[in-house]
A and B are shown apart, each in its own frame.
Chain A
Amino acid sequence: MNRLRLLWDSSVGKKVVMAVSGLIWVAYLVTHVLANLLVFQGPGKINAYSALLRGTGGALWAPRLVLIGALVLHVIAAAQLTGRGQEARPVAYAAGRRPHASTLAARTIRWGGALILLFLVYHVLHFTVGTAHPDFVEGNPYQNVITGFRDPVVVLVYLVAMAGVGLHLYHGVWSSGRSVGISPPSPRPLRRSLALVLALLVWIGFSIIPIAVYAGLVR
């Protein structure tokens, strides 16, 4: 039995896979949010950045494939672990089980994940492929963002999804360090500052764009 097989076959190993694949996406999200904030500097910068990425031609597919691979593993492991957890308690507590320590973020991690998955599909069709965009112009992301966020429903979808992503990261960034065994021991193990900072950065960073566009602050 090889090592990767051993890892994948174990509940602990699957969490390692989830942590690593999740952190790959976290790294991407941080880059993505910082790049998106270029919209506040007018069309020049962000369109140039977009042209730069597209100019790499096929090479852009390398990171894309890494992200897709990571996502597939993350989602499969999530589904399997969710199933395992449910099978581990076939009979529920009649009086319920009162949660004490778990954060809202932890308790919504699975719903959040499902929400993110749905959002990803919509988001790619909206701003990358353009089929879900009312007025898509190839190669002009600035324009697409401005026209794309005219619809309040679209703005709302993005805001809900980003709240979901923020919560997912508030738990995920913290738990992944523990899943791979690198978090140092702590007198208050549930405390997390790095996860809070990253979750806030991603949540606020992504959310202010649709808000600003809809409010007419970016045009």
Chain B
Amino acid sequence: MVEYDAGDIGPDMSFLEMLDVVNERLMERGEVPIAFDHDCREGICGSCSLMINGVAHGPERGTATCQLHMRSFADGDTISVEPWRARAFPIVKDLVVDRGAFDRIIQAGGYITAPTGSARDANTILISKDTVDTAMDAAQCIACGACVAACPNGSASLFTASKITHLSLLPQGQPERYGRALRMVAQMDIEHFGGCTLYGECQEACPKEISIDTITRMNRDFLRATLSQGHGAIARAE
């Protein structure tokens, strides 16, 4: 690890702004800046991804690194910053990791088929409020990878389960429901993520506070798909 001095940091600066300041000073001195991922800086894109003092996205609950402010630290603190560490997330440079494994899990089944052509009228498919709420809670996942980073097993279960829950609760997600569970879980294994021991660290680290209830749903869909040939899911998964 390399230690950098970050003086003159205001309490209202975000963590990423602090890194910007550090980088500016490095560049002024002709040194190479620290590479880190960021984009929206408002907690919606899932780009930022830092392990701060051994905690994914730092000490505040329900916030991404970009939403973390320097007031969460004491003046003079030494803060350790690391990239997500997982075999499935190879390091590109410094603090930047390649989260392409998540894209491939999505490609394996994180979609629905929908008719093209003119848009359908709104409200033609009625969905109960409870179902929508649960699906939308899961849909908040921004695929940042904090769940993997925080998991002792480096498991992508919370990510995969969020997508499965979101799509499989809604009527539009039904046709692919069981094939989706099989294929996404299989891809998760292919990418060398670990299994789920239900430590619960992921839901604590998740900037969107997604519940491990989603993992229960994923396991249920996977088990149903495996045990029932009726859905033809196994054939389609192969």
Contacts and interface: CB of A to CB of B under 8 A. Distances in A.
Given A3-B234, A89-B85, A84 B200 contact: no
A103 B199 CA distance: 7
A10 B204 CA distance: 25
A87 B195 CA distance: 11
B82 A98 contact: no
B204 A12 contact: no
Interface residues of B, number: 53
A90 B217 CA distance: 29
Interface stretch (B8-16, B18-26, B32-40, B147-155): B147-155
Contact of A101 (B82, B189, B201, B224): B201
Interface string B210-238: 01110111111111101101000010001
B86 interface: yes
Contact of A88 (B182, B192, B223): B192
Contacts, number: 163
A85 B55 contact: no
A89 B87 contact: yes
Interface in A104-141: 106-107, 109
**Residue from B152, B198, B226 having most chain A Cβ neighbours under 10 A:** B198
Interface stretch (A27-35, A158-166, A179-187): A179-187
Contacts of B192: 87-88
Contact of B197 (A97, A101, A106): A106
A85 B51 contact: no
B136 interface: no
Contacts of B234: 1, 3, 6
A15 interface: yes
Given A98-B55, A185-B213, A180 B219 contact: yes
A16 B198 CA distance: 13
B16 to A, nearest CB: 19
B194 interface: yes
B195 A11 contact: yes
A100 interface: yes
B86 A89 contact: yes
A106 B54 contact: no
A85 B195 contact: yes
A182 B224 CA distance: 11
A178 B222 CA distance: 12
Interface string A1-39: 101001101111111100000000000000000000000
B1 interface: yes
B185 interface: yes
Which of A11, A92, A175 has the most chain B CB atoms inside 10 A of its CB? A11
A101 B192 CA distance: 24
A67 interface: no
B222 A12 contact: yes
Contacts of A217: none
Given A13-B226, A89-B86, A180-B220, 8 more contacts: A12-B185, A86-B194, A93-B51, A96-B54, A109-B197, A180-B223, A181-B219, A185-B213
13 contacts: A6-B226, A11-B189, A11-B194, A12-B196, A12-B223, A85-B152, A89-B154, A93-B54, A99-B201, A106-B200, A181-B217, A185-B211, A189-B213
Interface of A: 1, 3, 6-7, 9-16, 81, 84-103, 106-107, 109, 171, 174-175, 177-183, 185-186, 189-190
